Amino acid sequence: MRTIAIGDIHGCSKSIRALIETIEPSRDDLLVFLGDYIDRGPDSRGTIDYLLEIESKYQAIFLRGNHEIMFGGCAIQGIDPMLWYQMGGRTTLVSYGGRLQSVPSQHLDFILRCVPSYENEDHIFVHANYMPLLALADQPERTLYWEHLHDRIPGPHISGKTAWVGHSPQIQGHIANLGHLVCIDTFCFGGMYLTAIDVDTREIWQADKWGNMRGARSPVLKLGRWLWRKCAGLILGTRRRTVAPVK
């Protein structure tokens, strides 16, 4: 059985479809999604539709990301959506026809089913970050969902397990590997890649936002990806620190 972690999708439905079609998971494999399925990218509705399809076919764990929290707060609890809009929520709203009332109940149920963390014998999985001396069940919500690695790089977790996280975009498209911690948010919506990785063998799959597997792009797509990355960097307004890629 393989355990495959999948990074932040952010509405890039073509990317996740390409990865799953390439990986060809069996019913014995476990897919662990690290959250942030929506916002920023072009097709949040289609992404959740496809995740529901995955849920019906395979073993899958869906972690909750900060973008699911914002979406749920607005669509379910009626919270003012302005912060959500500022963080990419408008693209999600557009994908639902411009009205939160048009979000299907199955999609809201999916958001509510997402879990804060997951662990097995050798690995822990969280969306954003963790406190190294606390068990997963005791982690603060701010840490699990909101804290970036450029704010604080944690030490090894007290369990001794390898930590797998997303949330902190690696804007060059490389996985960030600290040994005890691996970040696989590789900036798909910003023109780089969506990453999946077998956490035991370290086999890696990556697809760009157009659904092209890494290594199979045309020169035109390479130019388009470069231009998109430059524009996205200006929009984000910051250059986040990255660490050494997986060798």
- What's the gap between Cα 31 and its chain centre? 13
Contact 42/105 with Cβ under 8 angstroms?
no
- The count of other CB atoms within 10 Å of the CB of residue 98 is 10
Nearest residue to 173 via CA among 195, 152, 153, 201: 195
- The count of other CB atoms within 10 Å of the CB of residue 219 is 7
Distance CA 223, CA 27 (A): 38
* Ordered DSSP codes for 35-50: S--SSSSS-HHHHHHH
Per-residue model confidence (pLDDT) at position 215: 81
Per-residue model confidence (pLDDT) at position 227: 57
User: Using a CB cutoff of 8 Å and minimum separation of 24, what contacts does 173-176 make?
Assistant: 173/206, 174/242, 174/245, 174/246, 175/204, 175/245, 175/246, 176/149, 176/242, 176/243, 176/244, 176/245
DSSP-based three-state secondary structure for 91: helix
* Ordered DSSP codes for 93-133: HHHTTT-GGGS-HHHHHHHHH-BSEEE-SSEEEESS---TT
- Digit-by-digit pLDDT tens for the chain (247 residues) are 999 999 999 999 999 999 999 999 999 999 999 999 999 999 999 999 999 999 999 999 999 999 999 999 999 999 999 999 999 999 999 999 999 999 999 999 999 999 999 999 999 999 999 999 999 999 999 999 999 999 999 999 999 999 999 999 999 999 999 999 999 999 999 999 999 999 999 999 999 999 999 986 444 444 555 555 666 566 555 444 444 445 4
Q: What's domain 3-236's architecture?
A: 4-Layer Sandwich (3.60)
Mention every residue, 6+ apart, whose C-beta is less than 8 A from residue 102.
Answer: 96
- The count of other CB atoms within 10 Å of the CB of residue 206 is 25
Query: How many angstroms separate the Cα of 30 from the Cα of each of 21, 57, 104, 193?
Result: 15, 11, 26, 21
Per-residue model confidence (pLDDT) at position 220: 46
Distance CA 79, CA 221 (A): 39
Query: How many angstroms separate the Cα of 66 from the Cα of each of 114, 127, 143, 173?
Result: 11, 8, 10, 21
Contact 205/22 with Cβ under 8 angstroms?
yes
Hey, where are the domains in the chain? Answer: 3-236
Per-residue model confidence (pLDDT) at position 110: 98
Distance CA 61, CA 35 (A): 10
- The one-letter amino acid at 133: L
DSSP-based three-state secondary structure for 87: helix
